[in-house]
Amino acid sequence: LLPAFWLFSRLIQEDEDQDFVQETGGVLEEADELTGGGNFIPEPVMMVMQWVVVALIIALVIWFGMRQLKRLQMKKKVEGESELRESIFTRDALMNDLKGFFSGLRGGLWNRQSRFNLQRRPATVRDAYQHVIVHGNRQGVGREDRETPREYASRLSEIEPTLDEPMDDLTERYLRARYGDLSSDDDIQMAQEDWDAIRQRLRRKR
């Protein structure tokens, strides 16, 4: 009985194995049809595509960050809220200082501001602002040591309200020129007109 039972179990097992092979074979054939016969994208190509996408994302992030940084720097330049005390004299003023120094060696001390020629036409935006500083000192309303350009403009406007517009305009042009922006011919012309208005109105206040 045992040999007969063993033979019978083997026959049943073979039938089950054949059914399993047929079922799995059909599933694999269906999978091949769905995937185009197993034509997958090669792995090296997939890796290259992934790296390209990552590189593009990184480049986009860097580009966006640089734009934001540049905007922030420009904003700080224009605002100038925490500016430090600095010299406001241009190259022309420096040459005048040197001339005055050598003149002083021959004839005593040289007072730069007392000899500053306000009749000379300002050649630059910063030169026009220097004219305002010297003129303000001579009128007894000079800029204080720790006073920012905007604070000085505000104080002059309180003293003479008609100075509000030309003083604010000249101050903003001066700040842009001071931080390295190139002044156009229009900037220089407007600065000269601002200086003329400030000089006339501040004199009238006297």
In this structure, the number of other CB atoms found within 10 A of the CB of residue 120 comes to: 11
Residues 106 and 66 in one domain: no
Least confident segment among 7-16, 100-109, 132-141, 148-157: 100-109
Total domain count, the chain: 2
Residues 95 and 131 in one domain: yes
pLDDT, average across residues 16-40: 52
Q: What is the pLDDT of residues 150-181, one digit of tens each?
A: 999 999 999 999 999 999 999 999 999 888 77
Residues 27 and 63 in one domain: yes
Percent of the chain with pLDDT over 70: 60
Domain that holds residue 95: 91-205
Residue 31 forms part of a structural domain? yes
**46-71 b/e (C-beta count within 10 Å ≥ 16 → b):** eeeeeeeeeeeeeeeeeeeeeeeeee
Q: Residue 110's pLDDT is what?
A: 38
In the listed set 52, 79, 106, which residue is the last one of a domain according to the structure?
79
Residues 118 and 59 in one domain: no
Residues 169 and 147 in one domain: yes
Residues 100 and 185 in one domain: yes
Q: What is the mean pLDDT of the chain?
A: 75
Q: What is the pLDDT of residues 32-46, one digit of tens each?
A: 555 555 455 778 888
Residues 122 and 28 in one domain: no
Residue 85 forms part of a structural domain? no
